[in-house]
Amino acid sequence: MTIISNDKTVAICSDHAGYELKNAIIEHLANKGIKCKDFGTHSSDSCDYPDYAHPCARAVESGECYPGIAICGTGNGIGMTLNKHQGIRAALCWDVELAKLAREHNDANVLVLPARFITVDKALEVVDAFFATPFEGGRHARRVAKIRIEE
């Protein structure tokens, strides 16, 4: 897995809809020797995804964790919240090819998964593809540099 270094921990968060998938991913990564910092939620009780997305985003932005994974029912709400942070490039992916392109072309630093629209097995394939794919750079670096809003 190329984008994970030994000194980094993966940031992971979900809302209630993504809780079970989040736990499956944490177990999958632990079996590969990859550490996760779980920003919640910690149950399947109804909750608000921004409460977990913001701390997860801050951990990735600060460099405390890299990369991040976020999960909600559709992936849209948690992804929108994450992308409010200037240092986050969260990509909603439900397919291996999307995950690869999000890394290769967009240097995505948070993978967003739609728990209600993806199986656990497919989600694990997407996670593995995201982690195994490096940023291509080149012409894509110029485009990625233009994403951030100058304040």
Catalytic residue numbers, as ranges: 105
- In the sheet that 9-14 helps form, which strands lie side by side, from edge to edge? 36-38, 9-14, 65-72, 110-114, 90-92
Residue 43 belongs to a domain with what CATH number? Answer: 3.40.1400.10
Residue 151 in any domain: the answer is no
Task: With 0.85 as the threshold, say if the pTM is over it.
Answer: yes
Residue 111 in any domain: the answer is yes
Residue 105 in any domain: the answer is yes
Q: What is the mean pLDDT of residues 111-135?
A: 97
Residue 2 in any domain: the answer is no
Number of domains in the chain: 1
Query: Which two tokens mark 65?
Result: 């964790």
pLDDT at residue number 1: 46
Residue 3 in any domain: the answer is no
Reduced 3-state DSSP string for 26-84 = HHHHHHCCCCEEECCCCCCCCCCCHHHHHHHHHHHHHCCEEEEEEEECCCHHHHHHHCC
Q: What is the pLDDT of residues 63-80, one digit of tens each?
A: 999 999 999 999 999 999
Residue 80 in any domain: the answer is yes
- Domain of residue 90: give its range: 9-145
Q: What is the pLDDT of residues 43-58, one digit of tens each?
A: 999 999 999 999 999 9
Q: What is the pLDDT of residues 15-39, one digit of tens each?
A: 999 999 999 999 999 999 999 999 9
